[in-house]
Chain A
Amino acid sequence: GENVEQHPSTLSVQEGDSAVIKCTYSDSASNYFPWYKQELGKGPQLIIDIRSNVGEKKDQRIAVTLNKTAKHFSLHITETQPEDSAVYFCAPGGGTSYGKLTFGQGTILTVHP
């Protein structure tokens, strides 16, 4: 199955700083690369995704970059705000493990005012 590693496991930044979370995967056939945000007491929710034919995608303060050769993709959050504090997960999909989905272990992001 897919091996997924997410780093760092915790990230603490000051408001206004940038944050970067990296996700490394093993299945070279993976072609869908989403990031989910989980706020306290809620289920994860998609914040941005990218497909394998695109190298970068931006949506206001968040962006995702993909390096298919090296098999990793990253979440970038600029001008962080306290409401960005949450747990973030990657979950590369569409690979050879049809139907199976492996999530990264999560990154706890804390943005200090």
Chain B
Amino acid sequence: EAQVTQNPRYLITVTGKKLTVTCSQNMNHEYMSWYRQDPGLGLRQIYYSMNVEVTDKGDVPEGYKVSRKEKRNFPLILESPSPNQTSLYFCASSTTSGTQETQYFGPGTRLLVL
């Protein structure tokens, strides 16, 4: 089954404790992206990647890091989480054309930073 998977689905952590949210897709998509969703603000793009070893900032990159060492994986790293990073996070992928094609979303990761 073609899908985007994220882990963990739920995470409670404390301020300053480094964490990684994994994202993996099995559709051989070149383009991958991370979003955060907050009430009233819709989906805001954090980082995106056009291909392996090619990443760039979205609209809200502060406090986040990403890497793209393999085509199928695009982990999101919070080096020192803060309470304002409490949010619902989605990973998505699409074909080479990136924003010109359908975004396939993962199920989401709900993060609470205390």
Known: A42-B108, A43-B108. A99 touches B41 (CB 8 A): no
Bound CA span A111–B68, Å: 41
Residues of B within 8 A of A43 (CB): 4, 90, 92, 105-108
Tell me how far the C-beta of B84 lies from the nearest C-beta in chain A, rounded to whole angstroms. Answer: 19
Q: Chain A, 58-102, contact with B by CB distance < 8 Å: what is the 0/1 string?
A: 000000000000000000000000000000010101110111111
A-B contacts, CB under 8 A, total: 76
Tell me how far the C-beta of A40 lies from the nearest C-beta in chain B, rounded to whole angstroms. Answer: 11
Name the interface size band of chain A.
Answer: 20 to 34
Residues of B within 8 A of A93 (CB): 98-101
In chain A, what residue has the closest Cβ to B39?
A106
Name the interface size band of chain B.
Answer: 20 to 34
Residues of A within 8 A of B33 (CB): 101
Known: A34-B102, A49-B102. A100 touches B58 (CB 8 A): yes
Residues of A within 8 A of B97 (CB): 94
Q: Which of B59-114 contact A (CB under 8 A)?
A: 59, 90, 92, 97-103, 105-108
Q: Which interface residue of A44, A49, A104 has the most chain B CB atoms within 10 A?
A: A44
Please tell me if the beta carbons of A100 and B43 are within 8 angstroms of each other in the complex. no
* Cβ of A105 under 8 Å from chain B: yes
Using a CB–CB cutoff of 8 Å, the interface residues on chain A facing chain B are 1, 6, 31-32, 34, 36, 41-46, 49, 89, 91, 93-95, 97-106
Using a CB–CB cutoff of 8 Å, the interface residues on chain B facing chain A are 4, 31, 33, 35, 40-45, 48, 50, 56, 58-59, 90, 92, 97-103, 105-108
